[in-house]
Structure 1
Amino acid sequence: MPHAAQRKDHPLSMRLPDADLAIIDRAAQLRGRSRTEFMRDAAVRAAEEAIMDTSLLRVSPEAFDAFVAMMDAPAKPVPALTELLRRPAPWEAAAKK
């Protein structure tokens, strides 16, 4: 039995210049998404970032002291990352050939 399409509770309408619509459509196509899905995801992600940027994070004094200690501690080398950063970039390796 076919499933009915899920009803959207709150439609949203926007007026956009042709250039904006073209770039949104191109990005949505590259992601394999519809324009609506792409714009909804982008809007929700931007909203979440705005909320997180303005949200206050509260921690105990002990947790804050532990955080500061970790930030102040010298960095420990990560062997895989060190090796990766020593490798020439693909475009540098190709130029040497």
Structure 2
Amino acid sequence: MSRVKKRKEHPLSMRLPETDVAIIDRAAAIRGRSRTDFVREAAVRAAEDVLLETMPIRMSSAGFKAFVEALSQPARPVPEMVELFQRTAPWESGKAEAEK
């Protein structure tokens, strides 16, 4: 009796317009990846995003109470964010023009 091996890989085939393939190939080349690796990674990442958006968050009653308590506190400034928003943007300071 022969053993049947379970396939670890499953083929996936798509028909794409030439312009889509050109864009994918260009992006894959920039990343130093093959078309297959690039498309697989992008598809898996997109699928994970969808699943994470729809996945319920579960926590204990005590955890939920602590979460609500933290959200109920007044907002506190984050010094690094305050400093970041006080900086002048490069396109506003003229530095970008001087570097050309």
SS of aligned partner of 1:58: coil
Aligned partners of 1:39, 1:76: CA distance in 2, in Å?
42
Q: Does 1:90 align with 2:90?
A: yes
Residue 76 of structure 1 corresponds to which residue in structure 2?
Answer: 76
**Length-normalised TM-score, structure 2:** 0.77
Shift of 1:51: 1.5
Aligned partners of 2:26, 2:71: CA distance in 1, in Å?
41
- Greater RCO, CA 8 A, separation 6+: 1
Residue 44 of structure 1 corresponds to which residue in structure 2?
Answer: 44
Root-mean-square deviation (CA), in Å? 2.0
Aligned partners of 1:60, 1:16: CA distance in 2, in Å?
47
**Length-normalised TM-score, structure 1:** 0.79
Counting aligned pairs with the same residue, the percent is: 57
Per-residue CA deviations over 1:50-90 (Å, capped at 9, x if unaligned) read: 22222222111211111112122222212122111101001
Higher-Rg member (1/2): 2
Superposition misfits of 4+ residues, deviation over 4 angstroms: none
